[in-house]
A and B are shown apart, each in its own frame.
Chain A
Amino acid sequence: MGALERRFTIPAVLESVEDACEFAANEARAAGLGEDAVYHCHLSVEEVCTNIIEHGYKFQGQDQYIEVVCVSMPDRFTITIIDNATPFDPLARADPDPAAPLAEREGGGWGIFFVKKFMDSIAYKFEANHNQLIMEKRLRGG
């Protein structure tokens, strides 16, 4: 059995993020992931898309797009989030510190931190003039 690929595109605005999340969650479910893993995919897509809209497009992405590509394979499920904002590797930033006291918490950085925790792997590349963040969940018994 080969890979099954499906794509979904949203305008780069917060109001559309839930559509991208629903798409990825439905694809994850169809790929055979359990409900906890589906939830992890949903939350990860929200965090990544929100990050792109906020930091990549500076909330000015009305005429820009974010593409979500889900690929289902026998042993794994991948979600690739593609945007054409300025090249930016969100994985290069240091993780926030869970032990930091309240006064030292600036509020940012937790989204990608959660993605790293929730997904089995995450990678970034800049290719064909686009940022691409590839997240993977392994399928048991694949």
Chain B
Amino acid sequence: MIDINVSRLNTVTLVEVKGRVDSMNANQLGEALSGEIDGGNIQVVLDLAQVDYMSSAGLREIVAALKKVKRATGDMRIAQPSERVREVLEMAGLDTIFQIFDSKDGAVQSY
């Protein structure tokens, strides 16, 4: 089960995720991100503070979303990943692909 909450802070779209992102629900996250990008919301912050588990299915969705938003000349930045999520991001080398911030405010203000 995941909860996805989307809010706007000026030009930035904040996507806050809560729960475990796995092969059963990763597509929900992908669809939410894709919907925002298709809607022209291309300055995205993905807040992962409340995600304590993300498998490769989740990584696949966020990489696809990053490709999509970059094609639209935007960006998606990650805020406050938990230790376990940061570990898989680093193992996959995604810490050099995504800009990762320790705080939500830092990520939002980076735009």
Contacts and interface: CB of A to CB of B under 8 A. Distances in A.
Interface residues of B, number: 21
Nearest to B60: A107
B63 A107 contact: yes
Nearest to A100: B93
B57 to A, nearest CB: 7
Contact of A18 (B24, B67, B91, B93): B24
A14 B92 contact: no
Chain A interface, DSSP helix/strand/loop, else mixed: helix
Interface residues on A, range: 20 to 34
Interface string A6-30: 0000000011011000000000000
Given A102-B67, A110-B59, A113-B56, 19 more contacts: A17-B23, A17-B24, A39-B53, A43-B53, A46-B23, A46-B55, A47-B55, A50-B55, A50-B57, A97-B93, A102-B63, A102-B70, A102-B97, A105-B63, A105-B67, A107-B60, A107-B63, A110-B56, A114-B88
Interface of A: 14-15, 17-18, 39, 42-43, 46-47, 50, 96-103, 105, 107-108, 110-111, 113-114, 117
